[in-house]
Amino acid sequence: MSKNRNLQVGVVGLGFIGPAHIEGIRRQGVEVHGIAEFTPELAREKAGQLNIPVAYSCYEEMLKDPAIDIVHICSPNFLHFPQAKQALLAGKHVVCEKPLTITSAEARELVELAKTKQLVNAINFNLRFYPVNFEARHMVNKDDFGKVLIVQGSYLQDWLLYPTDWNWRLDLDQGGSLRAVADIGSHWIDLVMFITGLKVDEVFADLKTFYPIRKKPVSRVETFSNKEQSVAIDYEDKQIETEDYGSILFRFENGARGIFSVSQMSAGRKNRLFYEIDGAKSAVSWDSEHPNDLWVGHRDRMNELLVKDPSLMSDEGKAVSSYPGGHAEGFPDTFKQLQKKVYAYILKNDFSVEPDFPTFTDGYISLQIEEAILKSSQTCSWVKIYE
């Protein structure tokens, strides 16, 4: 009998990202026992659509259900903190969407609470789990890569290009005081720290809101779904206080330099995270719109191009690949791979072992960096992270 058999999962929040969690969970033969939503009606509707056995009347009910071992938090950003805190207090392991919280102080509270409660805590920095990103980490840490010198990249989308594009993330109260940086920039920052193993020492940022006024539709809009609106809708003017775009410079602890742009207004870029990491001997680069390819740059011999292939990869890369070479894995697969490591860790039941997945601590570091980015943008100066 498989070790995963008895894990039972509850999911709160069934917008864009909740169903992606559910697919991943199910692929491993782990049961999604029940879900919770803003209202009991919505929970029942989503449970019906997604074939979930239980629709809880509210989140609190889910937390009281002893059948639930793990809670996946997929709600809007401002709910992550209270919901994660409640879950930990209820003795549940937690997989939380990013950002972990709105402030780093909240994040620190969660880190400490999880530690006290001895509960497994994961944050869904899922992009690490494209197999070639594990492979990139393996390569960057080998001697023949050399010291990391430069970390470059961008995370670009176009779904908020027009002043008529709307989503709850544009609302300061629901999304927090950073938007592009928090929603997608945080993925890039986490990913390059994961791959290089380097800490960010200080940041300099220039954030820009191209549309200080946007037009909000009167009815509710799910993330990404705005682009498929076809019927005429009513709008109201809304002041926007979060950034559409950011330029961010980094100085890493080892002296390496970083440069990163993040945008939700780059026409034609649907969801493109790009990085290039330049070492003293070699380089790697990756583009999330072609996620099975890894470019490896060399000075003295031909560059290399890895098409994801377990037979050509290290044990680390293999461990997060499910399909043979040339069989493309995609965005949904990253959820499965992250969860697989989290669940295996829970079942192993030895929490003295360093987790091999992103934890609340990563979420906390991420928020510290984001707060420094915001401060830098406001003060036009370099801001240290750990002060």
CB nearer to its own copies: give 105 or 312: 312
**Binding of its own copies by 344 (CB under 8 A):** no
Pairing of strands 200-208, 213-217: unpaired
| Candidate list 60, 307, 378, 384; residue touching its own copies; CB under 8 A | 307
**Binding of its own copies by 143 (CB under 8 A):** no
Minimum distance of its own copies from residue 328's CB (angstroms)? 4
Residue that has been written with the tokens 């409640």 in this structure: 86
Contacts 24+ apart (CB under 8 A), 329-333: 329/130, 329/131, 329/291, 329/292, 330/291, 331/20, 331/126, 331/291, 332/20, 332/23, 332/24, 333/24, 333/129, 333/130
Say how far apart CA 291 and CA 281 lie, in whole Å. Answer: 24
Say how far apart CA 144 and CA 279 lie, in whole Å. Answer: 9
Subset of 85-124 contacting its own copies (CB under 8 A) = none
CB nearer to its own copies: give 114 or 200: 200
CB nearer to its own copies: give 103 or 296: 296
Minimum distance of its own copies from residue 88's CB (angstroms)? 27
DSSP helix/strand/coil, 378: helix
**Binding of its own copies by 289 (CB under 8 A):** yes
Is there a cis peptide before residue 99, judged by omega within 30 degrees of 0? yes
Structure-token pair, residue 35 = 């879900």
- How many whole angstroms from its chain centre is CA 297? 27
Interface region with its own copies, contact rule CB under 8 A, candidates 84-92, 173-181, 331-339, 352-360: 331-339
Structure-token pair, residue 100 = 């972990």
Interface region with its own copies, contact rule CB under 8 A, candidates 48-56, 67-75, 95-103, 353-361: 48-56
**Binding of its own copies by 333 (CB under 8 A):** yes
Q: How many CB atoms lie within 10 A of CB 26?
A: 16
| Candidate list 215, 238, 290, 341; residue touching its own copies; CB under 8 A | 290
**Binding of its own copies by 261 (CB under 8 A):** yes
Interface region with its own copies, contact rule CB under 8 A, candidates 75-83, 115-123, 212-220, 296-304: 296-304
| Candidate list 237, 305, 315, 350; residue touching its own copies; CB under 8 A | 305
DSSP helix/strand/coil, 373: helix
Burial class of 29 by CB neighbour count within 10 A (0 to 12, 13 to 18, 19+) = exposed
Backbone angles phi, psi at 280, to 5 degrees: -70, -15
Subset of 152-211 contacting its own copies (CB under 8 A) = 152, 154, 156-159, 161-162, 204, 206, 208, 210
Minimum distance of its own copies from residue 35's CB (angstroms)? 12
Minimum distance of its own copies from residue 333's CB (angstroms)? 6
Size of the site for its own copies (CB under 8 A): 98
Interface region with its own copies, contact rule CB under 8 A, candidates 92-100, 261-269, 340-348, 358-366: 261-269
Interface region with its own copies, contact rule CB under 8 A, candidates 44-52, 98-106, 190-198, 348-356: 44-52
Burial class of 290 by CB neighbour count within 10 A (0 to 12, 13 to 18, 19+) = middle
Subset of 49-88 contacting its own copies (CB under 8 A) = 49-52
Subset of 232-251 contacting its own copies (CB under 8 A) = 245, 247, 249, 251
| Candidate list 66, 219, 231, 301; residue touching its own copies; CB under 8 A | 301
Interface region with its own copies, contact rule CB under 8 A, candidates 89-97, 173-181, 185-193, 298-306: 298-306
CA atoms within 13 A on the CB side of 7: 27
Say how far apart CA 217 and CA 61 lie, in whole Å. Answer: 33
| Candidate list 15, 176, 291, 358; residue touching its own copies; CB under 8 A | 291
Nearest to 245 by CA among 185, 301, 167: 185
Tell me if 34 sits within 8 A of 9, measured CB to CB: no
Minimum distance of its own copies from residue 212's CB (angstroms)? 11
DSSP helix/strand/coil, 36: strand
